[in-house]
Structure 1
Amino acid sequence: MAYLHRELAKKGVTLALLWEEYAAEHPQDHYSYPQLARRYRAWRDGLEVSMRQVHKAGERMYSDFAGEKLRIVDAKTGEISYASLFVACMGFSSYTYAEAFPSEQLPCWIAGHVNAISFFGAAPHIITPDNPKAIVTRACRYEPELNRTFSEMAAHYGCVVIPARVRKPKDKAKVENAVLQAERWILAPLRNRTFFSLDEANQAIRERLAWLNNRRMRGMEASRSELFAGVDRPAMLPLPTRPYEYATFKRARVNIDYHVEVEGHYYSVPYRLVGEEVEVRMTR
C-alpha cells in the first residue's frame, strides 16, 4: 500500500492505472479493482491526518514558525532571549527543514524560505505559508495581497504563493504536523541544553534534523529522506544560479535635478521622470 501511495503522488498516475499494472503482473492471483481500492482507502485512513491528503510529487512546500521557543543565553551578560523555530516541509515526503531565528519578522521569513530551498536543493512549485501579517498584507479567501518582498522571493525561484486560508485547518495540517514533529524530536531533546548563540543552537538543530529526516515513518516503510529523494526531488524546479537577495521597496518622488533621495543618498534617474513618484528597490 505504501508503494501505491508513493506512485499516486506522481503526475498523471491513477489508482486505476496501478491496478492495471498490478493485475498484469499477477494475472492468476490478484484483487479486483474495487477490492484494491477499498484496501488502499482503509490503509490510507490509518495514516496521520496530514498524510491522508493527496500531495503531488514536488508540488508544494509548507512553512510556519513553531509556537515553542528556544532559549539563548548571552555569554557575557547572562541575558536571556528566545529564538523562534522556522519549519518548512515538502507535501508528499514530509522532508523537513528547521532553523532558529531571532524573530518572526519579514527578514526571518525570507531567510527561512531561501535557506529551506537551498537545503532541498530544488524549489517547489507552490509555497504555502501560514497567514502571518509579515507575509499577507491583506487577507482574502481567493486573492490575498502578499508582501512585495515575499512575492519577489517566490518569483525568483519560479514558485507560486498560496497561503493557508484562515479557519481552514486542512490547508495547514501538513505543516502543523511538521511543527509538532519538530517540537517533539528537535526542541524537546534540546530543552536542557544551554546555548550561547544562534549559531550554536542551529548546529544542534541540524543534528536533530538529520535524525528526524532519516527516521522511518510509521506506515510508509521509508524515511523522509528516502521519500524526498525518490518522489519529491525529481519533480521539483531547478534552482537559479544565485539565491534570492533580500530587498525592500519604498515610494520616492523625483526631484527637479532628476535625483531621488533614499536613506540620505541620492540616485539619478531619467530626466523625463522629474516630478513623478517612482518605486525604489533597496538591497542590503
Structure 2
Amino acid sequence: MNLHSWITAHNNAYAYFGGSTQIIVPDNLKASVTKHTSKELVLNSTYREMADHYNTVVMPARVRSPKDKSSVEGAVGAISTWIIAALRNTHCFSIDELNEEVWRKLEEFNRRPFTRKKGSRLSAFEEEEKFALSPLPSTPYQISVWKTAKVRPDYHISVESMFYSVPYEYINRDVEVRLSDSLIEIYFNHMRVATHKRLYGKYGQLSTVRDHMPDNHKLYVDQTPDAAIEWAENIGPSTLKVVRYILDASTNEKQGLQSIFSLKKSERSYTKYEIERACKMIASMTNRPTVKSIQTILKNNKKNDAEQELKRKTEISKNNYGFTRGASYYGGKDK
C-alpha cells in the first residue's frame, strides 16, 4: 500500500468512526515506519504528522510478531471475504458505483447479529468503544510530502515543474517544502516563510506573491496606464506628451508599459529636469519618439553638460590670477 492510500484509509476510518483513536497499532510497512529496532523507532514523517493532526500515538506492532493484533487481522479477513462474496455477481460500471456497493455491504455486515452473544459489531462499537474516541479536528488531515528546494535568483522554487515565490531575502538558500493536495508550504529553519495554493495542469505555471518581490520588481508589476500618466505629469509636459504617444502607439498595453518603465528607471541616473529636457528635444525632432532615442539624448546631454562645465571651470581658472602689484608698491618705479 502506498503512502497516499494509507493516509486516505485513516482519514476515511476516522470519519466513519466519528472520532480518532488514542493509539494506532500499525504493521511495519514503509508507509508508516522507516526504522524499527529494539533500540530505535523512526516513523514515516508524513504518517507522524497525520498522527499529530489527530492527536493520536503510533505504537507499531513488533517486527515479525503478527499475534500482536491477531484479532484485527482476523476481522479484516472476515469482512473482505464476506463483502467480496456478496458482490461477486454485481456489475458496476465505475469505481464510484463499486464503492457505493461496498459501503452498503459494510453497513449490512456491521449490523449482522453476533452468533454467540447479543448485539452486533455496530452496537458493540457504539456502546463499548465510541466514548473513548477523541474529537476529530475541524478538517481531515491533508496528506503531505516533504521535499528540499533551492531558491533561484528569481526568488522562486521549482516544485514538480511549477514555480512558487519565496521572499527574495532567501535567494540561493535551501528550503524545506511541504506538499499537500491543495497547498505548498515553504519552510526555512523550521519557520514557514511562504504559502501557496498548489498549481495543477500545464507545466511552468507561476505563483508569485507581491510581497516576496524586491522593490524594483514591485515598481514594474505595479505599472498601469494611469500610474504612467501620473508619473509623466510629475516630470513635465514634454514627458507627458511622450508617454501618451508610447501608450497610444504600442501594439499592446503591456509592451507600452514596459517601455515607459525603462524610461522611469532613468530617474536613477538623471534629474527630472534632464528627463524633461530630453523629451522636449526628441519631441522637436520627430513625431515618433522612442525610449531608446530619449536615453541616447540623455547620455549625450550629460556628456555635453560635463564638457561645458569643464570649459567654464577652465576659463574661470585662467582669469583668476588675483591682484598684480606694480614696482611702485615696493618703492620703485613702473617701467
Find the residue that maps to 2:19 and give its secondary structure: coil
Find the residue that maps to 2:8 and give its secondary structure: helix
Measure, in 2, the Cα distance between the counterparts of 1:141 and 1:125: 23
Between structures 1 and 2, the one with greater helix share: 2
Contact 1:195 1:201 in 2 (8 A): yes
Find the residue that maps to 2:25 and give its secondary structure: strand
Correspondences of 1:196-275 after superposition (within 5 Å) = 196-275=93-172
1:210-241 deviations in Å (ceiling 9; x for gaps) = 12211223444221111111121111100111
Shift, 1:115, TM fit: 0.7
Unaligned runs of 5+ in 2: 182-335
Measure, in 2, the Cα distance between the counterparts of 1:146 and 1:276: 28
Q: Does 1:130 align with 2:27?
A: yes
Measure, in 1, the Cα distance between the counterparts of 2:17 and 2:126: 10
- Code of the aligned partner of 2:174: E
Moved over 4 A (4+): none
1:171-212 deviations in Å (ceiling 9; x for gaps) = 221221121211232112222333332212211111211122
1:42-101 deviations in Å (ceiling 9; x for gaps) = xxxxxxxxxxxxxxxxxxxxxxxxxxxxxxxxxxxxxxxxxxxxxxxxxxxxxxxxxxxx
Unaligned runs of 5+ in 1: 1-103
Cα separation, partners in 2 of 1:257 and 1:116, compared to 1, 3 Å:
same
Measure, in 2, the Cα distance between the counterparts of 1:268 and 1:166: 44
User: Which residue of the partner structure matches residue 163 of structure 1?
Assistant: 60
Contact 1:164 1:171 in 2 (8 A): yes
User: Which residue of the partner structure matches residue 59 of structure 1?
Assistant: none
1:137-178 deviations in Å (ceiling 9; x for gaps) = 233345432222222122111111222222112222122112
Measure, in 1, the Cα distance between the counterparts of 2:94 and 2:59: 34
RMSD: 2.1
- Code of the aligned partner of 2:128: V
In the comparison of the two structures, how many residue pairs are matched? 181
Find the residue that maps to 1:129 and give its secondary structure: coil
User: Which residue of the partner structure matches residue 121 of structure 1?
Assistant: 18
User: Which residue of the partner structure matches residue 111 of structure 1?
Assistant: 8
Shift, 1:272, TM fit: 4.8
Find the residue that maps to 2:164 and give its secondary structure: strand
- Code of the aligned partner of 2:47: F
User: Which residue of the partner structure matches residue 75 of structure 2?
Assistant: 178
Q: Does 1:145 align with 2:145?
A: no
Between structures 1 and 2, the one with greater strand share: 1
How many percent of aligned residue pairs carry the same amino acid? Answer: 45
Shift, 1:254, TM fit: 2.5
Measure, in 2, the Cα distance between the counterparts of 1:144 and 1:188: 39
Measure, in 2, the Cα distance between the counterparts of 1:278 and 1:218: 58
Contact 1:251 1:280 in 2 (8 A): yes
Measure, in 2, the Cα distance between the counterparts of 1:259 and 1:197: 41
Shift, 1:278, TM fit: 1.8
- Structure index of larger Rg: 2
- Code of the aligned partner of 2:112: R
User: Which residue of the partner structure matches residue 314 of structure 2?
Assistant: none
